[in-house]
Structure formats: C-alpha cells, structure tokens
Amino acid sequence: GNSVTQMEGPVTLSEEAFLTINCTYTATGYPSLFWYVQYPGEGLQLLLKATKADDKGSNKGFEATYRKETTSFHLEKGSVQVSDSAVYFCALSDHGGGFKTIFGAGTRLFVKA
Amino acid sequence: GAVVSQHPSWVICKSGTSVKIECRSLDFQATTMFWYRQFPKQSLMLMATSNEGSKATYEQGVEKDKFLINHASLTLSTLTVTSAHPEDSSFYICSASVASGNYEQYFGPGTRLTVT
C-alpha cells in the first residue's frame, strides 16, 4: 500500500540556516505530493504541492521537487525564520487510493533566534 | 476560497455522553469528506471517508458504532463520538475535497475533545 516516510525530528536550527526535511514515498499509482504545516494548537495548512514528476512546489520560500526516480519530495528552505517553527507533514494522495491522503509522521522544527 | 470550518473548536464532556462535531465546506461543494484523529505530537490517523449521501467507509480498527459519521449534504459532515471515554480525548480534524485531478484536500482547523 501507499506510505510516506519522513525524517525524524526534532530539527533545531538557528535563524537564517538552511533547512532540508527528507521525505520519501511508496505508491502504486501516480500520486500527488504535499507538504503541510501545523503551527502549535492549530490545524493543518497546505504549504505546497506537486502533482506530477519533476514539478516543483514552492511557497513562502519553501520548495520541494517531485522526484519520481528516487520517490522523494524533500522540503527545503534557504533561510529559516523563528516563525517557521512548526510541525511539517509530508503527504500523498492518489486516485487509486480513493483520494485518501496518507501522512508521514511529521517533523518538528525549532528555529532559534 | 476553499475554506473548511469545524465546530466546536474545543469541547469538554463527561464520560458516557455523546459529542457531535460539525465540518462544513464554506465556499465549495465537497463530494468527499475525511475525518482524522491526531494524538499529541503524532501524525494524523485517517478514521473514515464519507461521500455525500452514502455510508462512511471506516478504516480498519475504527469502531463505526462509536464514531458515527453523517454526510447529509455537499457542505456538511458530522462526527458523533458516542458514549465518550477519556481515551477518546484527542484532536479531530476533518478535510474536504472535490473529485478532480489534483486530489487536494482542504483541512478544517480541528476540534479538541477532552473527556473527563
């Protein structure tokens, strides 16, 4: 079945550091891939998405590229801010899965001033 | 656009009582709604998928008689936790989607349930 594996956290960085959160997936079809962010005490917000191979999703300085050959969708940001502290979830959804979204375990990011 | 609301945002109830949580798509018609449960510092666990006008499909291990889901219209789904117990305390999140090519789901802000 479909699954998502992302790097364990927490990840602690200093402000302006480079961020990478690794995400790999297993899917039988051709899924869409997503990164969601959850700030403390809040629900999920879509951060970015990519719907086909080689697509790059980007938003608020975050980027992720859909790599079919390595089944990966790593999240990157060149310069993190304290306000980026949150939990980040990698996820996939595909028609073969009945549009269900499968989430990774989440990676908690702490950014220090 | 694509806003999903949940009500209430938090609720405290006594053990043995039932609690209803509403999920509404405010500016679109949701053909499918999903209910998730999130334990502290953990990922989201899909509980069930509901399509408007039909019975919900529950994930393995989720008690359908305990977690009643109704999707009576294209903009409203409800989750009722029946005979709640302290172990049902959790963060419940709904999402809604339209059957289209991008499979995107729009998430509600979540409802925190505490059973005392």
- CB of B35 within 8 Å of a chain A CB? The answer is no
Listed residue (B57, B100, B102) closest to B77, CA to CA: B57
Q: How far is CA A26 from CA A71, B54, B84, B102, in A?
A: 7, 30, 36, 18
Please, which pLDDT band fits residue A44 given cuts at 50, 70 and 90? confident
Average pLDDT over residues B18-24: 96
Query: A89 vs B109: CB contact, 8 Å cut-off?
Result: no
Listed residue (A83, A95, A82, A90) closest to A106, CA to CA: A90
- Contacts for A5 with CB less than 8 Å, ≥ 6 apart: A23, A24, A25, A26, A104, A105
Q: Which residue has better confidence, B105 or A107?
A: A107
Out of A71-80, B5-14, B35-44, B100-109, least confident range: B100-109
Q: Of all residues in chain B, what percent carry a pLDDT higher than 70?
A: 94
Query: A44 vs B93: CB contact, 8 Å cut-off?
Result: yes
Please, which pLDDT band fits residue A20 given cuts at 50, 70 and 90? very high
Taking the C-alpha atoms of residue B45 and residue A15, their distance in angstroms, rounded to an integer, is 32
Interface test with B, best of A7, A99, A107 (most B CBs within 10 A): A99
Listed residue (A5, A3, A50, A7) closest to A26, CA to CA: A3
| Tokens found for residue B8 | 């209430």
Smallest CA–CA distance, residue A24 to chain B, in Å, is 16
Q: pLDDT tens-digit profile of A47-103?
A: 999 989 999 999 999 999 999 999 999 999 999 999 999 999 999 987 655 567 889
Query: B104 vs A43: CB contact, 8 Å cut-off?
Result: no
Query: A99 vs B43: CB contact, 8 Å cut-off?
Result: no
Taking the C-alpha atoms of residue A15 and residue B84, their distance in angstroms, rounded to an integer, is 44
Taking the C-alpha atoms of residue A1 and residue A49, their distance in angstroms, rounded to an integer, is 21
CA torsion sign, B75 to A105 to A90 to A102?
A: negative
Supply the pLDDT for residue A98: 57
Average pLDDT over residues B24-50: 88
**AA identity, residue B92:** Y
- In whole numbers, what is the pLDDT of chain B averaged over residues? 90
Supply the pLDDT for residue B116: 96
